[in-house]
Amino acid sequence: DQQVKQNSPSLSVQEGRISILNCDYTNSMFDYFLWYKKYPAEGPTFLISISSIKDKNEDGRFTVFLNKSAKHLSLHIVPSQPGDSAVYFCAATATGTSYGKLTFGQGTILTVHP
């Protein structure tokens, strides 16, 4: 049972344009969500997170939106840069009860063309 899903395996975007990566979840207990960026043979790098008490969080070029009723979150990258090309994972957890367990989606490969 895949509780966190990233339905787009890949996304291709032109440099300077917006990249939108999507993530859906099914577990109603999840109340904290994170996005990670990963290069091959490296560990994931934390990008941005959002708590379920908010519907938007911004950090520089990265903005995460949360739609609790739809159980959907998205990561917007504006403007996209070639260095953003990587695999992006969304992750979810239930605060106070998951004890160190993040549940990850399968990842989306983002390619930003110059």
Would you give the binding string for another protein spanning residues 2-21, x where CB under 8 A is met?
A: --------------------
Q: Do residues 6 and 90 lie in contact, with contact meaning Cβ atoms separated by under 8 Å?
A: yes
- Only one residue has tokens 């989306």, namely 108
Q: Residue 80 or residue 87: which is nearer to another protein going by CB?
A: 87
The DSSP call for residue 82 is G
Question: Least distance from C-beta 16 to another protein, angstroms?
Answer: 29
Please identify which residue in 19, 80, 93, 108 interacts with another protein, judged by CB under 8 A: 93
Please identify which residue in 89, 108, 110, 112 interacts with another protein, judged by CB under 8 A: 89
Asked if 49 interacts with another protein (CB under 8 A), we say: yes
Q: Residue 12 or residue 51: which is nearer to another protein going by CB?
A: 51
> How buried is 82 (Cβ within 10 angstroms: 0-12 exposed, 13-18 middle, 19+ buried)?
exposed
What residue type is assigned to position 74 of the chain? S
Asked if 104 interacts with another protein (CB under 8 A), we say: yes
The span from the first CA to the last CA of the chain, in angstroms, equals 38
> How buried is 38 (Cβ within 10 angstroms: 0-12 exposed, 13-18 middle, 19+ buried)?
middle
Binding site for another protein (CB under 8 A): 32, 34, 36, 41-46, 49, 89, 91, 93, 95, 98-107
